[in-house]
Amino acid sequence: MTAQIIDGKEFSARVRAQVGEHVTRLKNDHGITPGLAVVLVGEDPASQVYVRSKGKMTVEVGMKSVERRMDADTSEADLLAVIEELNNDPEIHGILCQLPLPDHLNEDLIINSISPAKDVDGFHISNVGLLGTGQKSMVPCTPLGCLMMLRDHHGSISGMDAVVIGRSNIVGKPMAQLLLNDSATVTIAHSRTKDLAEVVRRADIVVAAVGRPEMVPGDWIKEGATVIDVGINRLDAPEKGLKEDGTVKTKLVGDVHFESCAARAGAITPVPGGVGPMTIACLLANTVTACCRANGLAEPEGLTA
């Protein structure tokens, strides 16, 4: 079987267009402009690229975009003060604090200081609890993007065997929760899983969120399965030559070995151009949803779980 490529870039453009229509409606009918604030602590170059592209797309759909950059040695009190200010700002409907934070900051404390209603990452304990009990919540962007692609491809995933590799709070666990809420039979695998190959071979749906370049080989994939590759790994690519500054060029690869997996899968997401763009689209979708909820307005359909 040669897999159908699930085009996250194209899908995310459709989602962003829908978000844009809702933004226009909110402005024209209600005089409200949804606002998203991104807080970045430190100067991790990878984070900077990501924050820049989020800011650009936020403006493209007509929303207000605010960036708060803080020094790597910012104190917890100073960061909490910035979040408090954004919590109280009526023009801001979504707040995202870019992770990971520098080591001296308590990530749980910071995340839980964001107002749950503005927590567009869906990482606050209240949102985690609401999702876990099947109540209305803010849903983490990366898993939400994966779910949208799975629903679009399969119609329904009810009764399918899904394996999530990875159990982080930001991807693996909420992904498993969403799959369960859609009535898949869910297995969560991790670094202590015995015989990962056998576990993955049973899966109709494989979601890889590990952070290890190309670790899932094609011969683990059941013929016809759907493979969602969350991994974003930057590797040196000397075959591409040198950058202007003389350092070697790089390339992005996922957590699955694309060629061999595509040879067996029924459908697969590429890296880049798969889950990554969907994550940003879902962030914008969550901001519109948060804005509607904050103003007591009907929220858009099809943009959340």
**Structure tokens of 273?**
């151009």
CB under 6 A: which stretch of 22-30, 65-73, 151-159, 267-275 binds ligand GUE? 267-275
Report how many residues bind ligand NDP under the rule CB under 6 A: 26
> How many Å apart are CA 176 and CA 164, to the nearest integer?
6
- Contact partner, 231, from ligand GUE, ligand NDP, none, Cβ < 5-8 Å per class: ligand NDP
**Structure tokens of 55?**
């800011």
Which positions are annotated as active-site residues?
Answer: 54, 98, 121
Sign of the dihedral through C-alpha 273, 99, 191, 153 = negative
Instruction: Provide the mask over 120-159, with x wherever binding to ligand GUE is found by CB under 6 A and - wherever it is not.
Output: -x-------------------xx-----------------
Residues with Cβ within 8 Å of residue 55, at least 6 apart in sequence: 38, 65, 67
For ligand GUE, which is the closer residue by CB, 121 or 182?
A: 121
Subset of 113-152 contacting ligand NDP (CB under 6 A): 142
Q: Does 175 bind ligand NDP (CB under 6 A)?
A: no
The CA-atom distances, in angstroms, between 138 and each of 232, 252, 303 are 23, 29, 11
Subset of 56-115 contacting ligand GUE (CB under 6 A): 96-99
Q: How many CB atoms lie within 10 A of CB 181?
A: 15
What DSSP assignment string belongs to 169-234? Answer: TTTHHHHHHHHHHTT-EEEEE-TT-S-HHHHHHT-SEEEE-S--TT-B-GGGSPTT-EEEE---EE
Q: Is residue 232 part of an annotated ligand binding site?
A: yes
> How many Å apart are CA 20 and CA 76, to the nearest integer?
35
Q: Does 98 bind ligand NDP (CB under 6 A)?
A: no
Q: Is residue 167 part of an annotated ligand binding site?
A: yes
For ligand NDP, which is the closer residue by CB, 26 or 121?
A: 121
For ligand GUE, which is the closer residue by CB, 200 or 232?
A: 232
Q: Which of 68, 153, 201, 212 binds ligand NDP (CB under 6 A)?
A: 212
Please check whether residue 1 is in contact with residue 264, taking contact to mean a CB–CB distance below 8 angstroms.
Answer: yes
- Contact partner, 197, from ligand GUE, ligand NDP, none, Cβ < 5-8 Å per class: none
Residues tagged in the binding site annotation? 166-168, 232
